[in-house]
Structure 1
């Protein structure tokens, strides 16, 4: 699979960052614009180009960055996630990926997300809310290689769990980096075990590597508990 991807790298520009709206229309006009934008997005579903190698699913790259220590709400988190772009073929993937900064070169509190088209990288998304994620904490210097191996395995359908995979995230932090892969059904232990074993293999992890599975329900509860404490202490 890696040879297939490597052989099809494309140097076309992949810088398709989505810009924020700069205007301030009235509420009714804003709602109308949002509906029109949704309709346009539906019509703009990406398709493989002529002669390209289609992937089994379409995917979207996202990027987020925030200031550490600043309390975040679910709404502000969603507003902070920016779409980089969507792709439907191996060639389209390389057009984006070959121009993206590698995780190891990111600074601050940054994340790359790669999710199936139509799934937002949020716990509350319908496709994610009953699921969870495998989490691996990495020492600095390993994120770029592990991220590339993970997403190539995901795009190449190496996990062999049907439609269970939702997406993957790499989180760059100051003292460590974290990668995770999200799936739809946290209660399906056979599936989560297969994802774990495949993850260990494709990342060539040492046997003693600690891997944690966390349901999104637990993540939401921990987030709410933490922010409840923050609010109770006057936001500090």
Structure 2
């Protein structure tokens, strides 16, 4: 007879609580810690589902990925390795991009006493197509981020700061809240256009941002020459076409210097007058 059966027998015989206390104490204690462990496991599981950084792993990442080469052709292939891995025996050489790109994450659940710069976390810098896919497939999509969270993808050496890029500007547009599949598609096509240098006047493009808001989701394209309006309109027109945005979608341009003077934040940018395409 095990301890649990012995405990049940003493209670059934009416010997609880004095005589049965010794028999039942360890059973009750074991049940208590088992319940605590179960609750902790559930909480930890959901924390993994909502924090993109927990899905990053330093261990080799084995995944089924789509390999897009620099000429634009697409093929299915097995890729083994992590974001920092080197090609293993039998792998072809990696496809090097024209620029190195850095991926950032802004955690809205970080300590509220921290500044924006302190909340901004640089996750990884890559320079090949294969390392991009390893990174992209290792973090959750923007549709699963919490409210006020942001993803940033910028050319290496450029920080998503209005003050640090005073000569540039930002194209902003919103997507209707709730269409998660569309958000994932637009963000993917936008970053592919960046790293593949397929957008009009790609030399003037610095990076892109996806921001999760309560009423809508916002995407931004950062450029470096705000003074050249003809150039900016050409870039925005190309973006609307490449992302297959509805004709009624308005892209609004905000010069970085004016945004910095207004407070240097996404919210302050809404008060800055610009022009639309």
* Aligned residue in 2 for 1:175: 215
The equivalent position to 1:192 in structure 2, one of 224, 232, 240, is 232
- 3-state DSSP of counterpart to 1:92: helix
Q: Specify whether residues 54 and 8 from structure 1 end up closer, same or farther in structure 2 by C-alpha distance, changes over 3 A only.
A: farther
Paired with 2:75 and 2:147, the residues of 1 have a C-alpha distance of 30
Please give the secondary structure, in 2, of the residue aligned with 1:148. Answer: helix
Q: Distance in 1 between matches of 2:97 and 2:143?
A: 26
Structure 1 pair 209/135, CA: closer, same or farther in 2 (3 Å)?
same
Please list the CA deviations of residues 151-173 of structure 1 after superposition, one character each: whole Å capped at 9, or x if unmatched: 00111111231521110000011
SS class of match (1:163): helix
Unaligned segments of structure 2, at least 5 residues: 1-67, 269-277
Q: 2:150 aligns with which of 107, 111, 121?
A: 111
In the TM superposition, what is the alpha-carbon distance from 1:9 to its structure 2 partner? 7.5
Distance 1:6 1:124 in 2: 42
User: What SS does the corresponding residue of 1:191 show, helix, strand or coil?
Assistant: helix
Question: 148, 163, 167: which one pairs with 1:130?
Answer: 167
Q: CA deviation at 1:59?
A: 0.2
Offset at residue 198 of structure 1 (A): 1.2
Cα 1:48/1:187, change in 2 over 3 Å: farther
Residue in structure 2 matched with residue 23 of structure 1 by the alignment: none
The answer to whether the Cα contact below 8 Å between 1:109 and 1:171 also exists between their aligned partners in 2 is: yes
- Change in Cα spacing, 1:63 to 1:7, as seen in structure 2 (3 Å) is same
Output the CA distance in 2 between the equivalents of 1:121 and 1:56. Answer: 20
1:61 to 103, 116, 120: 103
Deviations 1:105-129 (A, max 9, x none): 111210000000111111122xx22
1:102 alignment partner in structure 2? 141
Which whole-Å CA distance do the structure 2 matches of 1:63 and 1:132 have between them? 21
Are the structure 2 counterparts of residues 5 and 168 from structure 1 closer, same or farther at C-alpha, using a change threshold of 3 Å? farther
Quote the Cα distance in structure 2 between the aligned partners of 1:174 and 1:192: 29
Structure 1 residues 5 and 102, CA, compared in 2 at 3 Å: closer, same or farther?
Answer: farther
Q: Which has the larger radius of gyration?
A: 2
* Aligned position for 1:77: 116
Q: Is there any run of 5+ residues in structure 1 with no aligned partner, and where?
A: 17-45, 228-236
* Residues 132, 183 of structure 1: 8 Å contact kept: yes
Quote the residue 1:12 is aligned against: 81
Compute the RMSD of aligned alpha carbons.
Answer: 3.0
- TM-score, with length taken from structure 1: 0.72
Aligned equivalents of 1:147, 1:53: Cα separation in 2: 22
Instruction: Return the TM-score normalized by structure 2.
Output: 0.62
Report which structure shows greater RCO (CA 8 Å, sep ≥6).
1
